[in-house]
Amino acid sequence: MSCTRQIRVFPSPAELALSLSQLLHHESRGRSHFTLGLSGGSLVQLLSRELPKTVGLNTEGWKVVMCDERLVPFTDPESTYGEYQRQLVPLGILSESQFITVDPSLSVEDAAADYTKKLREIFPGDELPTFDLLILGVGPDGHTASLFPGHPLLQVTDQIVASITDSPKPPPQRVTLTLPVINSAKTVVFVATGEGKAAVLRRILQEEESDPLPAARVCPMRGKLLWFLDEPAARDLTCPVEKHSVL
């Protein structure tokens, strides 16, 4: 899959986080309505650290969706929304009412159907929800959201949200945006830090494979694709990258 992309490399996660917050400010500035998809993991800490410092940031019109979610209670440390609820919401940047959440009290199939309905409500009339910005992570195996290598969900084209009951990474039950939705976004940003991601990033960004890893299948149809990496994550790349230092 050929896709225009920008690879930005930062000396540290702190500088990456600052630039990411500035990007969110730039993309949402002057907008009365802004739709954002977030992932979990280290992104929660990165945003919680820098968003409160972003001068002029106005999140009043934001609606925030989880790109994927584990089907566990919000109080569980594995809950992506639960982590934002605990770490970001108390800072006053976003309110709980701005988050569109998966209902963990439902079966995984019903949770996916309920989440689909919620997305349809914030994207009325759109065959495919078109997010203003999605922020994705990437696992050491090349998965993104809850789309795993070799899994049948990679072939789903008739759903905007899908359930998974056999996630290779625990917990097994999850709800995820599908590839067509991810690839309809206006901007997609991958965030990866640490040397543990170096080998898989080389595969994703430099090697053409007959069966591409899930993250390598992300290619916005009419939008832009950005990769935000720190230096340890980018150490094995020989393709052109943009070096950034913002502190």
Contacts of the segment 99-106: beta carbons below 8 A, 24+ positions apart: 99/64, 99/65, 99/66, 100/63, 100/64, 100/65, 100/66, 101/66, 101/69, 101/74, 102/66, 102/69, 102/71, 102/175, 104/71, 104/72, 104/73, 104/74, 104/79
Confidence of residue 106 (pLDDT cuts 50, 70, 90): very high
Express each pLDDT in 143-191 by its tens digit: 999 999 999 999 999 999 999 999 999 999 999 999 999 999 999 999 9
Is pTM, for the whole model, over 0.75? Answer: yes
Q: Which residues contact 231 (CB under 8 A, 6 or more apart)?
A: 9, 10, 11, 12
Report helix, strand or coil for 143.
coil
Instruction: Name the fold adopted by 5-240.
Output: Rossmann fold (3.40.50)
Tokens of residue 78, six digits: 């594995």
Domain ranges of the chain: 5-240
Tokens of residue 136, six digits: 């994705």
How far apart CA 184 and CA 28 sit, in angstroms, is: 18
How far apart CA 7 and CA 200 sit, in angstroms, is: 15
What confidence score (pLDDT) does residue 50 get? 92
How far apart CA 41 and CA 140 sit, in angstroms, is: 13
What confidence score (pLDDT) does residue 242 get? 77
Is the alpha carbon torsion for 90, 96, 101, 107 positive or negative? Answer: positive
Torsion, Cα of 20, 23, 24, 27 (10° steps): -160
How far apart CA 137 and CA 197 sit, in angstroms, is: 10
Report the pLDDT averaged over residues 106-128. 96
Q: Which of 41, 20, 46, 37 is nearest to 176 (CA)?
A: 37
Q: Which of 136, 129, 166, 127 is nearest to 35 (CA)?
A: 129
Task: Outline where 134-229 has alpha helix (H).
Answer: 179-182, 198-206
Predicted confidence (pLDDT) at residue 1 exceeds the cutoff of 60:
no
Q: How far apart are the first and last CA of the chain?
A: 35
Predicted confidence (pLDDT) at residue 247 exceeds the cutoff of 60:
no
What confidence score (pLDDT) does residue 115 get? 98
Is the alpha carbon torsion for 114, 131, 192, 94 positive or negative? Answer: negative
DSSP state at residue 144: B
